[in-house]
Amino acid sequence: MQYNVVNFGRTIVLRQVFGWQHPITLIQGEEAMNKAKQIINAYAVLEAGGQFEPFSYETGELGPNEVEIDVLYCGICHSDLSMIENEWGLSQYPLVAGHEVIGKVSAKGSEVQNLEQGTTVGLGWHSGYCGHCNSCKTGDQNLCAEAQPTIVAHHGGFADKVRADASSVIVIPEGIDLKSAGPLLCGGVTVFNPLVQFDVKSTDNVAVIGIGGLGHMALQFLNAWGCKVTAFTSSESKRSEALNMGAHNTLNSRDQGEIESATGSFDFIISTVNVKLDWNLYLSTLKPKGRLHFVGATLEPLDIEVFSLIMGQKSISGSPVGSPITIEMMLEFARLHKVKPQIELYPMSKINEAFDHLKSGKAKYRIVLSNE
């Protein structure tokens, strides 16, 4: 007997860039009928680059360490777009994207201690960690090789409900605006985490390349952190807005002359773009001992002149999102310093229009889907 809208009669093992390697055995037939049935109504893309379509799937019993979240809002990150288009070669279809979730706990497993039904929570890129590797034990769960990404071999937040391991579910503090909070759970922590990891100082001169979803939050965080902030943008129309969001200066990210005007200026540069830029030119804008840090998923290999690194003792690095404790720290910082994503709200049912808007490059600055 077919029990479901989509028949998943197989075991999938994924062991790629994101290192996910728990096999999921998806049950079907009578066995499934005997479990407590729960239908989740979502929007899924059925093939690479396809449109979102209504899609329902059945879950089994909630695991002892899992929670189920009623989704109120879910931000759209550029990584959702990369996943639905299978740019990273990781996607499995039907694909329910969405990993900037704000919602309320609707059910919890028997072992879950720290969350109650009705608690307002957030869920970001990860929806579970192995819990026993070195990274997990030292508080770097976002570096766990077996971490479960929310939208890789797992259904995400473009839905009425989403499930996750409680260890990855973050309580949203009072005083945070819920409509705009979703983007903090992925984009926000991704640009906040490097400030913590690399001890960025309030006296540092920091640049952000790309003022989109991540970049506009980076400007706000860096300004509140006390830094001198430069926004590199390729969009002339964003210059004045970048100044309002916390930049002290703006430069054109594709204009050689403007980039050269900043030679030897920065202690730290965060790149949020997903395209290739003239990285050697950007390295020349670093002070000695400066760092060019990538959070944007630029797919083209870096073509770096090593002498620029050697002579100035400069560094190049990258990082993924942030650990649960860093997300909590970031939310508290955002609440205190009034860091708030600037959002455009769409009803969840208008998900295809929302993605067209993101693809047009005109989103200012983060699109959020609402179930309300």
Note the residues at the interface with ligand NAP (CB under 6 A).
Answer: 77-79, 82, 186-187, 190, 210-215, 233-235, 238, 253-254, 272-275, 295-297, 320-321
Please say which residue, 57 or 232, places its beta carbon nearer to ligand NAP.
232
With residues binned 3-state (H G I as helix, E B as strand, rest as coil), the percentages for the chain, rounded to 5, are 30, 25, 45
Q: Which is nearer to ligand NAP, 156 or 296 (CB)?
A: 296
Smallest distance from ligand NAP to CB 321, Å: 4
Query: How far apart are CB 237 and ligand NAP at their closest, in Å?
Result: 8
Query: Whose Cβ is closer to ligand NAP: residue 182's or residue 215's?
Result: 215
- Which residue's CB comes closest to ligand NAP? 212
- Counting contacts by CB under 5 A, is residue 186 touching Zn ion? yes
Six-digit token string for 115: 């969350």
Q: Which does 308 bind (CB under 5 to 8 A by kind): ligand NAP, Zn ion, none?
A: none
Please count the CA atoms within 13 angstroms of the CA of 222 that sit on its side-chain side. Answer: 33
- Of ligand NAP, Zn ion, none, which one does residue 130 interact with (CB within 5 to 8 Å by kind)? Zn ion
- Name the minimum Å distance from CB 190 to Zn ion: 7
CB of residue 20 vs Zn ion: minimum separation in angstroms?
12
Closest CA to 105 of 166, 147, 167: 166
Partner interacting with residue 235 (select from Zn ion, ligand NAP, none; CB below 5-8 Å by kind) = ligand NAP
> Judged by CB, which is closer to ligand NAP: 107, or 281?
281
d(CA 291, CA 198): 9
Residue closer to ligand NAP (CB basis): 6 or 297: 297
Which lies closer to ligand NAP via its Cβ, residue 236 or residue 372? 236
> How many Å separate Cα 209 from the centre of its chain?
17
Annotate each residue in 112-141 with x if it binds Zn ion (CB under 5 A) or - if it does not, as one string.
Answer: -----------------xx--x--x-----
> Is 214 a binder of Zn ion (CB under 5 A)?
no
Question: Smallest distance, Å, CB 203 to ligand NAP?
Answer: 25
Nearer to ligand NAP (CB atom), residue 59 or residue 250: 250
Q: Give the total residue count for the chain.
A: 372
Radius of gyration of the chain (CA): 21
Which of ligand NAP, Zn ion, none does residue 249 bind (CB under 5 to 8 Å by kind)? none
With CB under 5 to 8 Å by kind, the binding choice for 238 among ligand NAP, Zn ion, none is: ligand NAP
Distance, in Å, from the CA atom of 161 to the CA atom of 121, rounded to the nearest integer, reads: 12
Nearest to 6 by CA among 60, 62, 55: 55
Cα separation of 36 and 154, whole Å? 19
> How many CB atoms within 10 Å of residue 183?
29
Say what angle helices 213-225 and 189-197 make with each other, to 10 degrees: 40
Residue 133 interacting entry, from ligand NAP, Zn ion, none, C-beta within 5 to 8 Å by type: Zn ion
Least separation in angstroms between CB 186 and ligand NAP: 5
Shortest reach from residue 287's CB to ligand NAP, in Å:
23
Cβ atoms within 10 A of the Cβ of 36, count?
A: 8
State both tokens at 336: 């205190």
Rounded Cα gap, residues 339 and 350, in angstroms: 27
Least distance to Zn ion, CB of residue 151, Å: 9
Q: What is the DSSP letter of 65?
A: T
Nearest-approach distance from CB 275 to ligand NAP, in angstroms: 4
| CA angle in degrees (0–180, nearest 5) for 84-87-89 | 95
- Upstream peptide bond of 347 is cis (omega within 30 degrees of 0): no
Nearer to Zn ion, 32 or 211 (CB): 211
On the question of a cis peptide bond just before residue 365, with omega within 30 degrees of 0, the verdict is yes
* The residue type at 99: H
Tokens of 100: 């900037």
Binding site for Zn ion (CB under 5 A): 77, 79, 129-130, 133, 136, 144, 186
